[in-house]
Structure 1
Amino acid sequence: MAQPDAILRWYNDETFFSLCSRQHQFLGHLDTSSTLKWLFGSPRCSTTHDLPSNLCSLDSRMTACWGDATSIILEHTILPLLIPFQSRDRIDNAVLAMQSPSIGSIKYSLGLVTGRFGAEHPLKACTSCMREDRLTCGAAYWHLSHQYPGVVLCPVHELLLKECIVNRQWSGRFKWILPSEELFESDSPPYPSDAAKNALKKMSEAILDLVHDGKSRCFDPDSVSNVYKDALDLLGASFEIRERTANSFAEYASLIQPYPPYTSLPTTPSKASAFISQMTRKVRGRCHPLKHLVLITWLFDRLNMFIDQYDARSKAGLLTKFSNAAFAKNNLQPTTSEMNTLVARRPKKLKPQLRVAILENLIKGEAKDKICSKFRVSISTVNRLLSSDRLVKTSRQEKQLRKNLRTYRAQWNSVIKENSQMSTKELRSRTPNLYAWLYRNDRDWLLARNSELPCGRLGNYSSIDWDKRDIELQNLILSTMHRAYGEYDQLRISKTALFSLVPSLSRLLEKRTHYPKTRLLIRELLQRTG
């Protein structure tokens, strides 16, 4: 009778993919499908290294040693980083997707595809950790703390993490692998300056703190944006202070922008202002957690400071809600019959000639205070008389509205003329009362007038110079090849080698209608190999 296969145990801070890769080597399997069958019962099922799927199909021997599907997801994958800023429904759907045969559109639903930080999460390792693992454990393995998106420095040794060239979008089929020096990219970013290193360390600490808290809570998006607004309001609300704030954030983002996955962060004041505006307005879609953490580490320095402010605001909101409910309960409005009993109304009469004279003045649109002094009546008498005659009241309202429309339109046109380069949002912040009146009473005219203004929002594809981006990507490929190989006129290079030199290529070339010149260059380079 054949002996059952031995099942390995978890190492400290190990990913699920790493344990499966160690098991693959221990079993001596020659192909990936053999280990897939051993794990899940079928060689045709699929999984990935970052967000593995099919975990409910794990053999019962594995779950007895490694834990159930939920514990594996929350303790040995990167999902806990991606869910704290999501709704409870999305979190439950993500966990369910990882338990199912396919993760489906989980990366899109969590905001990874559209977040500009990349939905591909390459395997990463620290060379010092690898040496220590071989001495203490007998083999190097993939540390979970290294795999979280945004962790660029090893939390222990503070060295730049190396990115693996296997299991990438451009590297071929899925493989079970463990860290090894020959699997890493030869070209790595320059070692960061002291300021950049401190910023990257701060981001890594915030990421690991969020992972710890993300397993037990999720943040309400509206409350999060309000906490950001409160913190920014403390810095000041004037136009000059807002400019300094944008400059400060652009400088902070510039420190970490050279290091993937932060390459899309804003490095100019105008783009920084747009980024802050996006994070503080009403939430309209999914948002990558790194967007939140970049803003949090800049505004609050540490995640726990943000959480304290969030909890305090949430608690204050609940107290206000309960106090308002108690006040409404204890101060019930009296009924109509009670009001009639409590207040004895005294009838008043106006002589017909006086009544007609007041109504004529009201129709002409004369001010109420002038009518009061002219006919020696109280303002309540004028109001009561106006309310009793619907035609007079309607005529007066229409005249007053036309007068106000002329006045407020002229004022808004004047504001636009004085600040012709400002967007609608910036003008609205300068004259909120004027904008509110026009929005309530003359919305069609206001929106038509505002459509002629600068939008003030960056990031729309319509404003992107794709030809310029195409040329820049071409130059990036050529300069990288020159730096790596020197003269490359007769160089033969494989697709894997080319994409490992420029890791962002696979993401940039996903849209087939963009970068035609770059695609032509790549075809020419690869044809030499063929």
Structure 2
Amino acid sequence: MQLFGHPRQGASHDIPARVDEFVKRTEGILGSAEVVIREHTLVPFYLPLRREIDAEQAISAIRAGGLGGIKARLGILASGFGAANPLKACMVCVKVDGLDRGVSSWHLDHQWPGAWICLLHDAVLQYGLGKVNAEGRFHWYLPQDIAFAEASKTPIDGSAMQVLRKLTACACGLGRLPQGFHFDQTTLAQTYQSRMIDLGLASPSGRLRSARFAEALASICEPLSRLHGMEILAGVASGDTGAFSRLMQERRSTPHPLKHLIFVTLLFESWQAFTSSYQQELGNAPFVKDETNTGKATVLEDQDHSRSQSVAEDVRQGMSVTRAAEAAGVSVATAIVWSAAAGVPLSRRPKKLTPRVRAQAVASLKRGHDKGVVASLVGVSIQTITFLLRSEPGLRSAWNAARLARARKAARTAWTRAARRFHSPMQQVLRQREPAAFAWLYRNDRQWLQQFTVETLLKPRPTNNAHIDWNERDRVLSASIEIEARNLVQTKGRRLKLSDLCNAVPQLKALFSKIRKLPLTRAAVASALSHRS
């Protein structure tokens, strides 16, 4: 009440509320509201992958106190990873803090979703059992005040540790991006696709090679699925790769950042390698290497934007690109990209791209052909075609528009032909026959799809068919509760509480609203809570 002006708002450790009131009452000792949010909460982890307007609305709600459904708006609730971010700590750090300062404290880089390794001590983090499952929800804890549990119920071997280190470094990199940075979704999808092609997980045309991709993704998701709160990845490890393959496509909705980080962990050697590839795809050089090598990334600030404008203006006035680059202290390639982004035409001194080859490549790109196809056609590398897209004014926009038109035509044609072949069936039948066409049309051309459905397809009959096997879910969950209850009774030596079961079986809490469909689970919970040691 004294810190936030409210008995409960502000007590959340991950996404608090009433931050403006907190800053006012603490007289700004920890900095402004923006500094508090950026350096003492998990909010920066979720914003770079959202639109700027979404980020502004979220920050306003956090500062004022009207959180409402902010976790739903940020895509956290529907992610499958759960909305609770448990407090985590490195036991070595807890001990060192106690010796150095007399009291232990929470470390921000340990709290990011997906961070399960202390990069300083190379130790697996443990998660706290307070402030989750309604236990001590509004309490204030230091690490020495709380009980901890192991991140994994099974031993973590060397290969799993390597995956956890990479994922943790990526989580720290995302959480530490500068304030106001937002990924461009189109460029992000292109970055993933280009890397997939380079690794042979997709064909040069961008078509997913499903078997290879599933095998590679399983090698990452299988060890991660053993961790607390990441059990949902067990399905991915068994071959359900759809949630990740869709990341190669530009989407209106944004998945949980953890899915992006797992994808980055799979495709790239490090967070720095990913940001470098993103910068190359973006063609705007926003990232620079972080010399501290802590897994963070920094972006060029306003002064670099002014510098790019200055270079473009110098070239427009007749200065050579080489001289303009030397004056600005950047490479010639960067000066070319900056000039092209400003729409400045450049004189060419071709080495690989002769006028004939260049014209052929530009014409092919304007028709929407993939970079790999164009590279093979004119006999140059994909990197050369990428640089051509970045350095030719207006070419990237024309290429993206042509690719969109080609994809739209292909999807509409496939969908229409299937409808004719099956004599205007129901949409569900067509979805089974043409899943790729439906997915593309639903995300990118929904108005046409809806109109086609109304005018051409049969209406589905009402049905009460259930898509979830509740009996099987009930059987599996009740068995898990019985096993964990026996273990808890032996270790705790007291009567169990509901929060004990929720901590041991994380999926239990999420299914409370469906408990009437789970009679075996309801009976197992009742039996566990009534048992006396």
1:277 is the counterpart of 2:281? no
Cα contact 2:23–2:29 (8 A) shared by 1: no
Cα contact 2:89–2:125 (8 A) shared by 1: yes
Cα contact 2:419–2:457 (8 A) shared by 1: no
* Bigger mean CA deviation after superposition, 252-261 or 44-53: 44-53
Question: In structure 2, what is the equivalent of residue 15 of structure 1?
Answer: none
Equivalent of residue 502 in structure 2, options 486, 499, 503: 499
Alpha-carbon offset, residue 46 of structure 1? 4.6
Question: In structure 1, what is the equivalent of residue 13 of structure 2?
Answer: 49
Task: Calculate the aligned-residue CA RMSD, in Å.
Answer: 4.2
Alpha-carbon offset, residue 244 of structure 1? 1.3
SS in 2 for 1:185: strand
* Bigger mean CA deviation after superposition, 77-86 or 282-291: 282-291
SS in 2 for 1:149: coil
The equivalences for 1:341-490 within 5 A come to: 423-425=433-435, 448=457, 463-485=467-489
Alpha-carbon offset, residue 227 of structure 1? 2.0
Q: 1:185 to 1:99 in 2, by over 3 A?
A: same
Equivalent of residue 518 in structure 1, options 518, 521, 527: 521
**CA distance in 2: counterparts of 1:72 and 1:174, whole angstroms:** 19
SS in 2 for 1:114: helix
Question: In structure 1, what is the equivalent of residue 259 of structure 2?
Answer: 291
**CA distance in 1: counterparts of 2:485 and 2:419, whole angstroms:** 61
Alpha-carbon offset, residue 214 of structure 1? 4.9
Question: In structure 2, what is the equivalent of residue 175 of structure 1?
Answer: 139
SS in 1 for 2:92: helix
Cα contact 2:88–2:126 (8 A) shared by 1: yes
Equivalent of residue 213 in structure 1, options 177, 198, 211: 177
Question: In structure 2, what is the equivalent of residue 258 of structure 1?
Answer: 226
Alpha-carbon offset, residue 125 of structure 1? 1.3
Cα contact 1:73–1:79 (8 A) shared by 2: yes
SS in 2 for 1:40: coil
Question: In structure 1, what is the equivalent of residue 188 of structure 2?
Answer: 224
Question: In structure 2, what is the equivalent of residue 70 of structure 1?
Answer: 34
Cα contact 1:46–1:102 (8 A) shared by 2: no
Q: Which has the larger radius of gyration?
A: 1
Question: Which amino acid in the other structure matches residue 309 of structure 1?
Answer: S
Cα contact 1:243–1:269 (8 A) shared by 2: no
Question: In structure 1, what is the equivalent of residue 114 of structure 2?
Answer: 150
**CA distance in 2: counterparts of 1:268 and 1:53, whole angstroms:** 35
Question: Which amino acid in the other structure matches residue 193 of structure 1?
Answer: D
Question: In structure 1, what is the equivalent of residue 282 of structure 2?
Answer: 314
Q: Which runs of 5+ in 2 are unaligned?
A: 285-336, 347-412, 423-429, 440-444
Question: In structure 1, what is the equivalent of residue 83 of structure 2?
Answer: 119
Cα contact 1:153–1:161 (8 A) shared by 2: yes
**CA distance in 2: counterparts of 1:313 and 1:44, whole angstroms:** 45
Cα contact 1:471–1:518 (8 A) shared by 2: yes
Question: Which amino acid in the other structure matches residue 45 of structure 2?
Answer: L
Question: In structure 2, what is the equivalent of residue 364 of structure 1?
Answer: none
Q: 1:511 to 1:411 in 2, by over 3 A?
A: closer
Alpha-carbon offset, residue 155 of structure 1? 2.0
**CA distance in 2: counterparts of 1:187 and 1:228, whole angstroms:** 29
Q: C-alpha offsets along residues 460-513 of structure 1, whole Å, 9 cap, x if unaligned?
A: x9643222122111111112233344599x973222333333344223435555
Question: In structure 1, what is the equivalent of residue 287 of structure 2?
Answer: none
Q: 1:425 to 1:66 in 2, by over 3 A?
A: same
**CA distance in 2: counterparts of 1:499 and 1:517, whole angstroms:** 16
**CA distance in 1: counterparts of 2:191 and 2:41, whole angstroms:** 29
**CA distance in 2: counterparts of 1:205 and 1:49, whole angstroms:** 21
Cα contact 2:4–2:25 (8 A) shared by 1: no
Q: C-alpha offsets along residues 236-259 of structure 1, whole Å, 9 cap, x if unaligned?
A: 429894321222112221121111
Question: In structure 1, what is the equivalent of residue 59 of structure 2?
Answer: 95
Question: In structure 2, what is the equivalent of residue 31 of structure 1?
Answer: none
Question: Which amino acid in the other structure matches residue 89 of structure 2?
Answer: A
Cα contact 1:109–1:286 (8 A) shared by 2: no
Cα contact 1:250–1:267 (8 A) shared by 2: no
SS in 2 for 1:168: coil
SS in 2 for 1:498: helix
Alpha-carbon offset, residue 65 of structure 1? 1.7
Equivalent of residue 249 in structure 1, options 213, 217, 235: 217
Q: Which runs of 5+ in 1 are unaligned?
A: 1-35, 327-403, 414-419, 430-435, 452-460
Q: 1:223 to 1:493 in 2, by over 3 A?
A: same
Q: 1:514 to 1:198 in 2, by over 3 A?
A: farther
Q: 1:446 to 1:194 in 2, by over 3 A?
A: farther
**CA distance in 2: counterparts of 1:313 and 1:265, whole angstroms:** 29
**CA distance in 2: counterparts of 1:42 and 1:425, whole angstroms:** 50
Q: 1:68 to 1:306 in 2, by over 3 A?
A: same
TM-score, normalization: structure 1?
0.64
* Bigger mean CA deviation after superposition, 42-51 or 212-221: 42-51
* Bigger mean CA deviation after superposition, 131-140 or 43-52: 43-52
SS in 1 for 2:16: coil
Q: 1:232 to 1:478 in 2, by over 3 A?
A: same
Q: 1:529 to 1:54 in 2, by over 3 A?
A: farther
* Bigger mean CA deviation after superposition, 59-68 or 218-227: 59-68
Alpha-carbon offset, residue 298 of structure 1? 0.6
Question: In structure 2, what is the equivalent of residue 133 of structure 1?
Answer: 97
TM-score, normalization: structure 2?
0.64
Question: Which amino acid in the other structure matches residue 487 of structure 2?
Answer: R
**CA distance in 1: counterparts of 2:474 and 2:418, whole angstroms:** 45
